[in-house]
């Protein structure tokens, strides 16, 4: 019985978006081209992560070196949080790319977690004074939908 459950669950999580080999030579060539460019995207994402970390350091240095020295106001703190979250999201996207290339498992939970992190960043840097209530409700709906999806997926994988 356990073996049957294991096979069924593997059917649902096994997924190969761009297989290395395909019976049609043209499709096989196209898959190789796409995989090559996905690898380029991974390299570029590493540069984005490094650039983002440099930006966080520069922004912190700039904010802490202006009078009053070594003090951050609430807007500076929110901007810093936003910059940190942007780097973390870039790291999550890199992990998604790496999993996309290296495994046959579709990382749905990781993709949902990345989306949750992105919307959390949006909420952190949100300027309530400049947006409409409709926008706030839309963001709340996305957060709730992603949260429920993440919860359901994590319950399924347990």
Determine if the pTM surpasses 0.85. Answer: no
Q: Which of 155, 92, 131 shows the shortest CA–CA distance to 140? A: 131
Would you say residue 96 has pLDDT above 90?
no
Give the tens place of pLDDT for each residue, 106-147.
678 888 999 998 998 888 888 888 889 999 999 999 999 999
Which tens digits make up the pLDDT trace of 46-71?
999 999 999 999 988 988 898 888 88
CA distances from 41 to 48, 59, 63, 95, 137 (A): 10, 26, 32, 12, 34
Nearest in space to 157 (alpha carbons), one of 112, 102, 100, 94: 112
**pLDDT exceeds 80 at position 94:** yes
Q: What phi and psi, each to the nearest 5 degrees, are found at residue 77?
A: -65, -45
Interatomic CA distance for residues 88 and 103, integer angstroms: 22
């Amino acid at each position: 019985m356990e073996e049957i459950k294991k096979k069924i669950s593997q059917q649902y999580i096994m997924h190969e978006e761009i297989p290395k080999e395909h019976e049609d030579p043209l499709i096989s060539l196209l898959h190789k081209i796409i995989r090559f460019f996905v690898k380029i995207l991974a390299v570029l994402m590493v540069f984005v992560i490094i650039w983002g970390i440099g930006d966080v350091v520069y922004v912190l240095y700039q904010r802490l070196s202006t009078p009053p020295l070594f003090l951050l106001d609430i807007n500076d703190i929110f901007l810093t949080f936003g910059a940190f979250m942007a780097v973390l999201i870039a790291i999550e996207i890199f992990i998604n790319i790496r999993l996309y290339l290296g495994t046959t498992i579709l990382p749905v939970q990781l993709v949902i977690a990345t989306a949750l992190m992105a919307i959390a960043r949006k909420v952190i840097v949100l300027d309530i004074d400049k947006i409409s209530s409709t926008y706030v409700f839309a963001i709340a709906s996305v957060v709730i939908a992603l949260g429920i999806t993440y919860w359901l997926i994590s319950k399924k994988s347990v």
